[in-house]
């Protein structure tokens, strides 16, 4: 090779190296984040559907807007109704919502085919890195792309009135079949969803249909509205309730009324994701602002804000769990990741194999 050709080769090689270096820098997470943030501020806002609750709404809006100077428009409502509204709008060609957070079922079924892969939104290393999360990245859908599960906890779904029942009388679910409790049990309708359905699924799996038939023969008060059941327990009309979470009872606890959660039952516990599943709409109206929100929500700061406002523990390992009395407890403190996957009932696989058949039993037994 001549000296001239050799020198030209060096120039070309240097140019190629420089080009790749420039491209690498341009594609770095820091550069991508700044570009996305700038574009998001031009879009001006992000529209996010969240569970109901003034504390969650106020906390998310205050922290996000102060930090990013982007308007956070929040639409609150129960997961099923919110998802249906979003799906109806989407089917009509309207793109009004960017992000949805809530329970797993509406995301798996109602919003199917309308979502972008959540991982496509990841920019910040603290979000994309699986080591920051207990169990790594978890999804509720079979494809493991569209419903990102960021909360994992066990909850006290069985409460009692201390004036009418003692914890040692109800140490196993078999104890609920004692004639003493006939007509004194309240149950959040398992056909509706929520903790009532989660508990029913667990009993169907661990105790069987025959047990559930006997439980229904105890004439429990079954209602889809949870507030009247909580009030009945507080007033002493019921001795125990099943499938109601802590939110229903805190006003009574603070008022000094003797309602308390039962200690962990001998039959075991099951983990839930609660209102902790994230989904991103396909072709969102504010794509860059949606990315900013997703990365913030799944960051340490965002998870602390969401967890502390809603009271449901995150899977992020660098966020301390809630410490309040009767606080929900992180799943990681009670089980291994393997046990979590075995016991959970909210993923699409478990919905098909466990939740659907157990709800069919409820439809048949509850009149």
Our separate counts of H helices and E strands in the chain read: 15, 13
Q: What average pLDDT does this structure show over 84-109?
A: 96
Among candidate residues 224, 261, 229, the one with its CA nearest the CA of residue 78:
224
d(CA 29, CA 83): 32
Write out the DSSP string of 276-295.
-EEEEESS-SSHHHHHHHHH
Tokens of 206: 């661990």
Which secondary-structure segment (H or E) carries 101?
Answer: strand 99-102
Query: Which residues neighbour 233 within 8 Å (Cβ) at sequence distance 6 or greater?
Result: 159, 160, 161, 186, 239, 240, 241, 249, 259
Q: What is the pLDDT of residues 292-339, one digit of tens each?
A: 999 999 999 999 999 999 989 999 999 999 887 776 889 999 899 999
Decide if 57 contacts 50 (C-beta within 8 A).
Answer: yes
Query: Which residues neighbour 84 within 8 Å (Cβ) at sequence distance 6 or greater?
Result: 106, 110
Number of other residues whose CB lies within 10 A of the CB of residue 63: 18
pLDDT of res. 262? 92
pLDDT of res. 10? 43
Decide if 185 contacts 241 (C-beta within 8 A).
Answer: yes
Q: What average pLDDT does this structure show over 227-255?
A: 93
pLDDT of res. 316? 97
pLDDT of residue 7 exceeding 60, the answer is: no
pLDDT of residue 20 exceeding 50, the answer is: no
Tokens of 354: 């466990």
Q: What is the pLDDT of residues 26-76, one digit of tens each?
A: 469 999 999 999 999 999 999 999 999 899 999 999 999 999 999 999 999
d(CA 278, CA 147): 6
Q: Whole-model pTM above 0.75?
A: yes
Among candidate residues 346, 345, 358, the one with its CA nearest the CA of residue 209:
358
d(CA 249, CA 260): 8
Decide if 139 contacts 146 (C-beta within 8 A).
Answer: yes
Domains and CATH numbers, the chain: 29-152+273-334 (3.40.190.10), 156-271+354-365 (3.40.190.10)
Q: What average pLDDT does this structure show over 202-219?
A: 96
């Amino acid at each position: 090779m001549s000296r001239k050709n050799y020198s030209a080769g060096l120039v070309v090689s240097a140019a190629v190296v420089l080009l790749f270096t420039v491209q690498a820098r341009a594609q770095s997470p820091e550069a991508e984040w700044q570009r996305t943030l700038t574009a998001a501020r031009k879009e001006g806002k992000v529209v996010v559907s969240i569970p109901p609750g003034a504390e969650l709404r106020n906390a998310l809006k205050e922290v996000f807007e102060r930090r990013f100077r982007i308007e956070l428009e929040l639409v609150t409502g129960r997961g099923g109704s919110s998802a249906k509204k979003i799906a109806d709008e989407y089917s009509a060609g309207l793109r009004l919502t960017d992000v949805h957070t809530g329970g797993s079922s509406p995301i798996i079924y109602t919003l199917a085919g309308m979502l972008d892969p959540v991982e496509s939104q990841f920019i910040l290393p603290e979000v994309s890195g699986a080591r920051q999360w207990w169990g790594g990245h978890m999804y509720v859908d079979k494809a493991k792309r569209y419903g990102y599960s960021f909360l994992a906890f066990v909850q006290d779904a069985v409460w009692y009135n201390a004036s009418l029942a003692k914890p040692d009388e109800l140490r196993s679910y078999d104890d609920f079949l004692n004639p003493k409790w006939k007509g004194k049990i309240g149950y959040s309708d398992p056909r509706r969803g929520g903790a009532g359905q989660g508990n029913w699924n667990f009993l169907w799996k661990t105790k069987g249909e025959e047990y559930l038939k006997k439980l229904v023969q105890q004439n429990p008060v079954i209602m889809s509205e949870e507030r009247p059941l909580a009030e009945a327990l507080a007033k002493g009309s019921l001795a125990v309730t099943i499938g109601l979470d802590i939110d229903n009872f805190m006003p009574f606890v603070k008022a000094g009324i003797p309602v308390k959660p039962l200690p962990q039952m001998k039959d075991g516990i099951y983990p839930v994701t609660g209102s902790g599943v994230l989904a991103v709409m396909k072709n969102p109206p504010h794509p860059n602002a949606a990315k900013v929100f997703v990365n913030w929500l799944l960051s340490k700061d965002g998870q602390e804000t969401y967890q502390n406002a809603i009271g449901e523990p995150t899977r992020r390992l660098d966020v301390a769990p809630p410490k309040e009395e009767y606080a929900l407890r992180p799943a990681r403190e009670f089980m291994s990741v393997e046990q979590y996957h075995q016991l959970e009932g909210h993923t699409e696989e478990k919905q098909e194999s466990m939740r659907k058949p157990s709800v069919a039993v409820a439809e048949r037994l509850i009149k």
